[in-house]
Chain A
């Protein structure tokens, strides 16, 4: 079954159209990579999936985005509930200027998930374990999250996101600010997370897309050129543009 179905999605920034008639289905419990040259609209499409484009005043989205068969672009969609179900990891690690513990407990607290202190402690530990960060920080979870290294900060953000058990996790170039070792750790983590979550990852590293994803969509100039299994896209694309991009002839 498809977790997410996007139909006829157009996005405008003011008068400029950023996405043209995007139709894309995303499978549950798989990693879908969105690739394409800079400015092709892949991040914009990602932000349509949890309505983060609402934050930008001049941005207008039209079309249908169905998650679990429910159109999230309806007027009366509860954005708070939506974002509880669809978490997001950003390009630059953005831990809050709070302790590691408070960074994780933030989500459960605002959504009223934990009933007691011990339950919260469990959520924090479990989230940190799932993000493969627990062993590194267990002795200093009451120190500021901003004091961690870049890769640790990004895993902290992942732990923060999974603390409220979202069904979908959106990742906007999560490794672009990280060194190769931290990148490898995050990629390993992504594969682990896909058991419980549906993951959509924007990346401009084609090798990363090939390593972590099962499905891939190729964007160019605001259009979805081709989508299919990662194997097929990388080995046997149907479109010439995809072929050119994959082989490094542009982008």
Chain B
């Protein structure tokens, strides 16, 4: 039913465009219009669609809670708890869909009928009211159309509003996410001291499972459980390995593409490098876990080294390969945008190509290159799948790249896979980790963007 109403509104709005334009064209035959006929069409279409759609949307949002209020008002005097009311209402709803399999009572039966009744009333009154608003607003706008109606301005204002709402939605979502992280994190820190989280040396969230759900929370049993040092260390360690792979290869290939490669080669090679960026990280993950990991293990055996099949080296190395295209492509762009006259100046001094690159072009492009590296680092810190698949899940505090270690992102996965219980420190730990990760990458991005911006100012 809802989709039918929605489609009807859209179709009517579209057709009213043609009516509006037609009327304008008719007027045009003997009077001058203030705007092109299509603006009269848009004008009528907006008047037709926008109010009806707005009402329809608001109605759809508030209908369920209004119906619920009417159903439950019969029981409000019985002094039931909020939870009991909720349960009862859920029962009513499933009974109305004939999906209820529990014990039937007369009350339940009566409420379910009432519920169906209300739903019907609501549905039809919605159709009638929305459509009559649509007709009224369209009629009003249609009669208003004359040769000197202002149509361009309302259309522009409407469009401005649409753009504004879109960006508002994006911003509100961001703020919403930050706050949901924040509230859960605050709750987490009410049980686990901040100090233990930031400086604790043992990360062992599985210990929190041991608690019987009926037992009261006892903060003392969580001591030595949520110490984040091992996973922060693991995160930066794996990111470091990744950057050791990505920075040299990415930067040098970027320089090659920008300075040495012929146009033809560049035309083919650049998209191939950029394909690396399009490979889903889960594919990198099993590449790391099933190819690189065992290969390193065998290699280690032949050298007499003990290498874990799931090692930080495998995960970091493959992550580095994933990041190569970001650094390569960005630094290529930055180097290409260094003005040609600097190159000419250097060549005219008798400098060779490599001297020019090393002493003039790289210094000139350095802020941009640093920016691209910082963006690569924030990718490395945020990467999840490769670590989950290739580096194990045990949060060892180690600096040996041949052992397995774990990262913030991988631990969030570990915590939230399977049974979760809201309000439990174990689940809330994920939010605390998420917020720390968010802060780290946010800072990195801000630094990277300001560095890149500084670079732009220098040459523009």
Contact = CB atoms under 8 A, between A and B. Distances in A.
B interface secondary structure, majority: helix
Interface string B331-352: 0000000010111111111111
A80 interface: yes
Given A106-B359, A110-B355, A110-B359, A96 B350 contact: no
A50 interface: yes
Contacts of B345: 90, 94-96, 157, 160
Interface stretch (A65-73, A81-89, A225-233, A237-245): A81-89
B458 to A, nearest CB: 7
Interface in A56-77: 57
Contact of B348 (A88, A98, A110): A88
A97 B349 contact: no
Contact of B344 (A55, A84, A146): A55
A97 B359 CA distance: 10
B346 A55 contact: no
B370 to A, nearest CB: 14
B350 A164 contact: yes
A94 B363 contact: no
Q: Looking at chain B, what size class is its interface with the partner chain?
A: 20 to 34
Contacts, number: 70
B359 A52 contact: no
B460 to A, nearest CB: 13
Given A80-B352, A90-B341, A106-B359, A97 B458 contact: yes
Nearest to A157: B345
Interface residues of A, number: 28
A107 interface: yes
A3 interface: no
Nearest to A103: B345
Most chain A CB atoms below 10 A, which of B339, B343, B350, B360: B350
Contacts of A87: 348-349
B364 A97 contact: yes
B347 A55 contact: yes
A80 B458 contact: no
A159 B281 CA distance: 54
A97 B347 contact: no
Contacts of B351: 80, 106, 110
Given A96-B360, A98-B363, A110-B359, A160 B349 contact: yes
A111 B342 contact: no
A92 interface: yes
Interface in A12-68: 50, 52, 55, 57
A81 B351 CA distance: 10
Contacts of B263: 57
Contacts of A110: 349-352, 355, 359
A161 interface: yes
B339 A96 contact: no
A83 B350 contact: yes
Nearest to B355: A110
B350 A81 contact: yes
A187 B305 CA distance: 72
B138 to A, nearest CB: 62
A80 B263 CA distance: 25
29 contacts: A52-B344, A52-B347, A55-B343, A83-B349, A84-B349, A87-B348, A88-B344, A88-B348, A90-B341, A90-B345, A92-B341, A94-B341, A94-B342, A96-B342, A96-B346, A96-B363, A106-B346, A106-B351, A106-B360, A107-B350, A110-B350, A110-B351, A110-B355, A157-B345, A160-B345, A160-B349, A161-B348, A164-B349, A164-B350
Interface of B: 262-263, 339, 341-352, 355, 359-360, 363-364, 458
Q: Which 4 A-B residue pairings sit nearest by Cβ, starting from the closest?
A: A83-B350, A88-B348, A94-B341, A84-B350
Given A80-B350, A82-B350, A87-B349, 4 more contacts: A52-B344, A81-B350, A83-B348, A107-B350
